[in-house]
Amino acid sequence: MEWNNLYVIIIIALVFVLVIGLMFLLPKLLAQESTHDHVSSGPFASLLAPYSSRKQLKQVKAWQRTHPPITDTSETTTSYDWRFETLTASATIIESDTLIFLDHAPACSLMTRSSLPLSKPIIYWEATMVELTQVAAVGLSTKPYPSWRLPGWHQHSIAYHSHNGCVSISNPSAPTPYSAGYKKDDVIGVGYLSQTNTIFFTKNGRNLGRAITGFKFPIYPIVGAIGRSKIAVNFGQQAFRYDLANEHHAGLIDELFSPPPTYGVHLRDTLLFDQPPPPMPDDNDTVSIPLAPLSSSSPPPQYPSVQSL
């Protein structure tokens, strides 16, 4: 009789442990499934699938071992060159600020020659989608960066992607919902607050909110695409769609390196994020995703482990 009672107690204990375990594991499994849906579903699933394959991730990790990112944030540059470097045959540059990604081109990225001047309180630039046929990504990254990967897919990079409206941070398999996607004629802005290492994006002059805080590396403007695209970049040679960037002289062109208005020692985030954003002009998007700040951890995550490297 005593043995029977012991068996019952053991069974009850095992059931209890199983229930508790499921309570902790089920939310994580559901979150992973939700993330996987961003990658494996939708009209671009077959186009993007090869870039998250085991073979491609092996190539990325091998490249990463021989090309470690530069993480020294000390500034030694006194002059800046905002021309893009052509390191791939899949893209060309016209007049230094218009990027052409060729027909049926695989994923590729172009970066500027100079990194952001972190001595500026707020730094900002914009990219206009003159032509967009498949996927584009706009953001910031350290160097070196594999030119055969979209921004946001490699270590120490972040980008806002057109096809799903997600922000990718250092990982192709874990996009985070951020806003609606974008298309031809949209203007996408990238902003950086040096004092808090905060990155934010804008769309057609509307601030979309913080994307990440604590992203402190030598970072460069980066633009990438899959398929034919024509993207015009504005570093301040013209007025920005985002008015606050004009008010704070946030452009990268040397002529605009004048001091911003004085708001105390630090540029307050409330000036950028806590005010109601203006309505988005001429925007016909029907997708609406609640804005939520991404993880503020630094440095960004590494690639997921791949067996048999």
Residue 33 confidence (pLDDT) above 90: no
User: Residue 22: its pLDDT value, please?
Assistant: 66
The 10 Å CB-count burial string (b at 16+, else e) for 138-157 is: bbbbbbbbbbbbbbbbbbbb
3-state secondary structure of 230: strand
User: Residue 293: its pLDDT value, please?
Assistant: 42
Measure the CA–CA gap between 18 and 37, rounded to whole angstroms. Answer: 27
3-state secondary structure of 94: strand
Is 3.40.228.10 the CATH classification of the domain at 80-273? no
Q: What is the pLDDT of residues 45-100, one digit of tens each?
A: 777 777 777 888 888 888 888 888 877 766 556 678 888 887 666 777 776 789 99
- Calculate mean pLDDT across residues 132-146: 93
- In DSSP terms, which residues pair with 111 in a beta bridge? 85, 222
Q: Which two tokens stand for residue 43?
A: 């009209």
Q: Which two tokens stand for residue 57?
A: 């991730």
Report the chain's mean pLDDT, rounded to a whole number: 76
- In DSSP terms, which residues pair with 222 in a beta bridge? 111, 139
Of the candidates 274, 197, 201, the one whose C-alpha atom is nearest the C-alpha of residue 241 is 201
Q: What is the pTM of this model?
A: 0.72
User: Residue 188: its pLDDT value, please?
Assistant: 98
Q: What is the pLDDT of residues 76-90, one digit of tens each?
A: 566 788 888 876 667
Measure the CA–CA gap between 91 and 34, rounded to whole angstroms. Answer: 33
Measure the CA–CA gap between 189 and 234, rounded to whole angstroms. Answer: 9
> What single letter denotes the amino acid at residue 252?
L
Number of H helices and number of E strands within the chain?
5, 14
Greater model confidence, 285 or 138: 138
Torsion over CA: 8, 13, 16, 18 (sign): negative
What's the helix, strand, coil split of the chain in %, to 5? 25, 25, 50
Q: What is the pLDDT of residues 217-247, one digit of tens each?
A: 889 999 999 999 999 999 999 999 999 999 9
User: Residue 168: its pLDDT value, please?
Assistant: 93
Residue 184 confidence (pLDDT) above 90: yes
